[in-house]
Amino acid sequence: MRASKIAGIGHYVPDNVVTNKDLEKLIETTDEWIQERTGIKERRFVDPKSDEAPSTMGTKAARIAIKNAGITPDDLDFIIFATLSPDYYFPGPGVMVQEQLGIKEIGALDVRNQCSGFVYAVSIADQFIKTGMYNNILVIGSELHSSGLDMTTRGRGVSVIFGDGAGAVVMQAADKPGQGILSTHLHSEGKHAKELALIGPSTKHWVDKLIVENDPEDISYYPYMNGNFVFKHAVTRFEEVINEALHKNGFKSTDINLLIPHQANLRISQFIQKKMGLSDDQVFNNIMKYGNTTAASIPIAMSEAWQEGKIKEGDLVCLAAFGSGFTWASALIRW
């Protein structure tokens, strides 16, 4: 059975930089408070007057990944799109990317695993390539959070964290022994689903009720996060799933060339780094610049790390994520 590799990578973030100082004008908060708790200094928000959407950002990132893979859009066999913020309630944005790329009617799959969505999507692509079903799979993580946040003091605990952006990879069959995705590991624990969720618009609370109620104080339309509860679970599950990948393949933490964690909170990454005895050179963080871009955070970080020469051929790279669901996942890659 053949292995799969990441053949090309790219990312896109909006030009609009929103600093913590900018948020001070909207929310009762401070730059110091945000940095101390999250490590975030700024994030990117799409221009609300633009037509930018998760699909269009994903397509822009995809075009870069396709070029870096040395193929054309017409070479793609399949699209996997991970997001919690689709353009529409339905259909999902995967089909929109197919249309925006102007390619043949290939399949498109949408993955709704939030913060771990990109790693889940990579795992799915890996299986399709291993079995020989597809040869060139486009995997995208893209999020547009800014239009759905409670930008008031009431929502500051969540709203200061998130940003917009997209990352993408092209996955192909590996051409060297020992290269590519070594293993992926996926988990969920649904009993904690409501600890990090957006409950409001749902099939149990649908359009007719929303119109009748028209309640501006209904906060179920905004993301909710039990911050301390999520943090405690995240630091445990991150370490578990990273070690699961290492043990599966006979490695130790010291063997990792680069750990790219989901950019949820810099304090989580720093806790895991210390717990696992990793050096600063072994962990890549960019949450300081972009905030938490959920499914897009790992591919954006991976793209930047590659651009900066921090991922080289032969390197052992570990991707790990934890988030809403709860779901968590890891992938170990020999670059």
Active-site amino acid positions: 115, 262, 292
Sequence-distant (≥ 6) Cβ neighbours of residue 121 within 8 angstroms: 80, 81, 82, 111, 139, 140, 141, 295
What residue has token string 């919690």? Answer: 84
Q: With contact defined as beta carbons under 8 Å apart, do 318 and 259 qualify? A: yes
Strand, helix or coil at 180? strand
Token output for 163: 């940003």
User: 195: burial class by Cβ within 10 Å (0-12, 13-18, 19+)?
Assistant: middle
Q: Rounded to whole angstroms, how far apart are CA atoms 63 and 79?
A: 13
Q: What tokens were used for 209?
A: 């009720």
Q: Mind giving me the DSSP string for 231-283?
A: HHHHHHHHHHHHHHHHHHTT--GGG-SEEEE--S-HHHHHHHHHHHT--GGGB
Calpha distance 109→176 (Å, rounded): 28
Q: Are strands 137-143 and 165-173 parallel, antiparallel or unpaired?
A: antiparallel
- Name residue 35's amino acid: Q
Helix spans in 76-164 (H): 93-101, 117-130, 156-159
Which token pair is 195?
A: 């600890």
Nearest of 121, 127, 172, 171 to residue 142 by alpha carbon: 121
Pairing of strands 316-323, 258-261: parallel
* CB contact at 8 A, 283 and 242: no
